[in-house]
Chain A
Amino acid sequence: MTSWEVFFYTVQIFYMLYFFGLYMTYLLLNFMAVVGVFKYMNVSILDDIPKIDSDLEIPVSLLVPAYNEELTIVETVSSLLQLAYSKFEIIIINDGSADQTLALLLQEFDMVEFPEAYRDRLKTKHVRGIYISRRFRNVKVIDKENGGKADSLNAGINCTRFPLFCAVDADSILNVDSLERIIKPFYDDHTVIASGGTVRIANGCDIDRGYVTKVAMPGSLLPIIQLVEYLRAFLFGRLGWVPLNALMVISGAFGVFKKEVVVDIGGYLSDTIGEDMELVVRMHRVMRQKGRPYRISFIPDPVCWTEAPEDLASLGSQRVRWQRGLCESLSKNLSLLLHPRGGTVGWIAFPYMIIFEWIGPFIELFGLFVLALGFWLDLLSWNAMLLVMSVAIGFGVLLSTVAILLEEMSFHVYKKPWYPLVLMGAAIIENIGYRQLNSYWRIKGSLLWLFGAKQSWGKITRKAAWKVD
């Protein structure tokens, strides 16, 4: 055996073990997600009983950070006002927008300056003024100097009245009952400190007055592939971790948190890009290290719709930002890794995130390089190379197929008869080019994090087609 052969075969065994570990974790998550969805669907029949308010519902403050959102902000707030929930307030935080966001809000909702006894519990950039609507007494606007999304959310938290707050992106589209559904875990279990819900892609859907009225497939390939990706990520990647109480991400687009816990741990970190993930990981770390009982929950219902990027440049910038967020979240909370009190998060989810999500793209890239090298040195035949690639692709397709099946058996959001075929097609096509591009963006994100490039609000080009119509 030559030294090249030893190197090549050692690498081969390493990769076999790596992929075995990855796929076994995926299978385990799949299994737990399937059980979770069916349990959830069993009790969903209770929705048949007419809804009455008991006056014991926990009031919620909706926080909407807005930066240059003149295109959608009025419609977003109008739709939030129609949410079916007994008691909530809406706080829009204008983060020093350079466009007409503030002016539009003041005009459309008949806002007047309000002498709020502002509690400075979390440090933020200077708050220039607080306004209240004369038409809707539960709508407020905080006008502050630009400080980023996390800083805006912290200012919003300072201004909230209620024990729970819900972070909503200004371009998120919710269902009328989204808030009611996402709050349920807080009723069922007093130790729940955060709750998230499934986000779906709004491209192609009919939207009227801020609500999805008809669900349809996007018109182009890129959002369809993202649709499959979202199905996989939310039904397995998130729901699967819930029984282990190891969910590490709650989407910034729509998530509910216990205010006192968030204030206790210092609020959102304003020097991060992935402030949503960082907050959840920090919640885990602090609660675990202090030995406090807690749960972070997730509901499989599609409660939030968001517009997916339709061009590669926007998609790339979004994925780079997500990867940087992941790197920051993990590196800032590294003490949770294998911590004696870390539990399932510290011993399973955190190592998984580091190995497969953080350094995973580098390992995959190196694997491709070694495959090419082996082929070039004649250590690997065409057949063997194809086989390795096929197994990797095949497993990806298998995971997507299970996600599509689960969607069909549970929520069945995409109703047209040919939609499953379209989704299956996308599940296969995404392996050719898209997955590799994703790995490239993730590597780029990790490198940008490593070399400390400047952060920003990370805007993507949105069409807001429903608004234009």
Chain B
Amino acid sequence: MQNVQAYQSIFQSSINYLDRLAPKIFESISLSVVVIFLVIILVRLRLIFVQYHKKKFKQRWQPVFLASLYGEVELEGIRRPFAFKTFLHEWNHFTFKVKGESRVGLIALLENMNVQRDMEKMIRSSHVGYKIQALITLTAVASEKYWYLLEEAIESKNPHVSITAFGAMVETNPLRTFTEHSRTVVRRRDWTEVTLGKIFSRVIQNRVINLFSIELLGADDRDLTRLLKVLSVFRKFDNVEFIRAMITDRENPYVLAGVMELMWNPVFAPSLRAFAEHDNWVVRKQAARLIGRLGSTDYIPSLKKLICDSSWWVRYRAAESLCTLPGMSKEQLMMLLDEVNDRYGKDILAQVMVEKGMVS
């Protein structure tokens, strides 16, 4: 009986507590809704103001930017704008639309405003957006004067910040960048291949890329798989020793496939036989593709075998190579189509012949 009474009293007190709490909850919810709504109104008003300000800003600065392109601006008469970040945003937009020497006037306009301290502040701030904005500006400026800031930014833990700094370095001095930071590229696994590829595609010196490939010789298979793809963006890559060292020392199929992507030189044709018979389909696929690329007619028997491979992709690439090899006429391919006994091989060859427009 006593237990029941104790239960009832706990029960009653908790209910009373909840009853007292509910109005307070409602009050605070209502207050929060009103406050947030007011914030929404403020945000909206601010936005209207910012849009108006931006419009005025554009009207004021666009003619100056245009005049700077032709070096027709009296720099001494131009003052640093109060809304500097807005200015920088507009400047970045405008500058990336022009290339080469056309940028000189625009850069002079910016330098005239003593931006070094602003760049320091922005890159050292905790705001990722500001850091990136400053780095985009430094990419366009491409001056070694700011190298120390790029050195700081490349060490950022944020991959977007550090890779943007790397891009700015490459734009500024590719040789110095790859001499000092090839190891950083290998180390930073958080840098995306696509962004690296975009940066690498701007490098035109063989010497620079060779510096990077030397660093790759010591990289592990995981990094190699990632970075060989990036290297393949550089179409002129022709470091025969590097490729030889890779195909001799490495066994990982993904590394081998990556190295094969770099083979444009016919000196590698003899090594294709082993690749065409490799256990891993990824290597066989790449071998089939490479035979077509190097135009090695000696390998027609290998390709005939590969179009009956167990992997769809190997069959497809082999059929593609067969159709593009020099000296393979439509008649020869039609004969081959009759000869192939394997159903899958026949299907894929027929498909690729239609794709290549050899039959309708």
Asked whether any CB of chain B lies closer than 8 Å to the CB of A409, the reply is yes
A404, B92: Cα distance in complex, Å: 31
Q: Mark B182-201, 1 if CB is under 8 A from A, else 0.
A: 00000000001111111011
Chain A contact-residue range equals 35 or more
* A387 CB contacts on chain B under 8 angstroms: 22-23, 26
Interface of chain A: mostly helix, strand, loop or mixed: helix
Asked whether any CB of chain B lies closer than 8 Å to the CB of A417, the reply is yes
* A398 CB contacts on chain B under 8 angstroms: 29, 32-33, 36
Asked whether any CB of chain A lies closer than 8 Å to the CB of B211, the reply is no
Q: Mark A315-349, 1 if CB is under 8 A from B, else 0.
A: 00000000000000000000000000000000000
Q: Smallest Cβ distance from B52 to chain A, in angstroms?
A: 13
* B216 CB contacts on chain A under 8 angstroms: none
Question: Could you tell me if A402 and B230 are in contact, using CB atoms closer than 8 angstroms?
Answer: no
Asked whether A45 and B133 contact (CB < 8 A) given A115-B350, A391-B26, the answer is: yes
A105, B14: Cα distance in complex, Å: 67
Question: Could you tell me if A48 and B92 are in contact, using CB atoms closer than 8 angstroms?
Answer: yes
- Most chain A CB inside 10 Å of its own CB: which residue of B194, B197, B232: B194
Chain B contact-residue range equals 35 or more
A405, B43: Cα distance in complex, Å: 8
* B272 CB contacts on chain A under 8 angstroms: none
Looking at the complex, which one of A6, A46, A402 makes contact with B36 (CB distance below 8 Å)? A402
Asked whether A412 and B47 contact (CB < 8 A) given A56-B233, A388-B22, the answer is: yes
Question: Could you tell me if A45 and B136 are in contact, using CB atoms closer than 8 angstroms?
Answer: yes
Q: Smallest Cβ distance from A306 to chain B, in angstroms?
A: 25
* A50 CB contacts on chain B under 8 angstroms: 96-97
Question: Which of chain B's residues 75-115 have a Cβ closer than 8 Å to chain A?
Answer: 89, 92-93, 96-97
Question: Could you tell me if A52 and B198 are in contact, using CB atoms closer than 8 angstroms?
Answer: yes
Q: Smallest Cβ distance from B357 to chain A, in angstroms?
A: 10
Question: Could you tell me if B160 and A54 are in contact, using CB atoms closer than 8 angstroms?
Answer: no
Question: Could you tell me if B19 and A384 are in contact, using CB atoms closer than 8 angstroms?
Answer: yes
Question: Could you tell me if B25 and A391 are in contact, using CB atoms closer than 8 angstroms?
Answer: yes
Asked whether any CB of chain B lies closer than 8 Å to the CB of A188, the reply is yes
Interface of chain B: mostly helix, strand, loop or mixed: helix
A362, B97: Cα distance in complex, Å: 59
A116, B44: Cα distance in complex, Å: 55
* A453 CB contacts on chain B under 8 angstroms: none
Asked whether any CB of chain A lies closer than 8 Å to the CB of B351, the reply is yes
Question: Could you tell me if B351 and A117 are in contact, using CB atoms closer than 8 angstroms?
Answer: yes
Question: Which of chain B's residues 22-72 have a Cβ closer than 8 Å to chain A?
Answer: 22-23, 25-26, 29-30, 32-33, 36-37, 39-41, 43-44, 47-48
Asked whether any CB of chain B lies closer than 8 Å to the CB of A458, the reply is no
* A1 CB contacts on chain B under 8 angstroms: 8, 11-12
Q: Smallest Cβ distance from B130 to chain A, in angstroms?
A: 9
Asked whether A46 and B92 contact (CB < 8 A) given A13-B15, A391-B22, A398-B33, the answer is: no
Asked whether A54 and B347 contact (CB < 8 A) given A408-B43, A420-B41, A420-B44, the answer is: no
Other than A42-B127, A117-B351, A391-B26, give 9 A-B pairs with Cβ distance below 8 A: A9-B11, A46-B136, A50-B96, A53-B198, A56-B230, A115-B347, A116-B351, A398-B29, A420-B44
Q: List 21 A-B contacts (CB under 8 A).
A: A9-B11, A39-B128, A43-B160, A49-B96, A53-B198, A56-B193, A56-B197, A57-B194, A114-B354, A117-B350, A187-B195, A391-B26, A394-B26, A397-B29, A398-B32, A401-B33, A405-B40, A408-B47, A412-B47, A417-B44, A420-B41
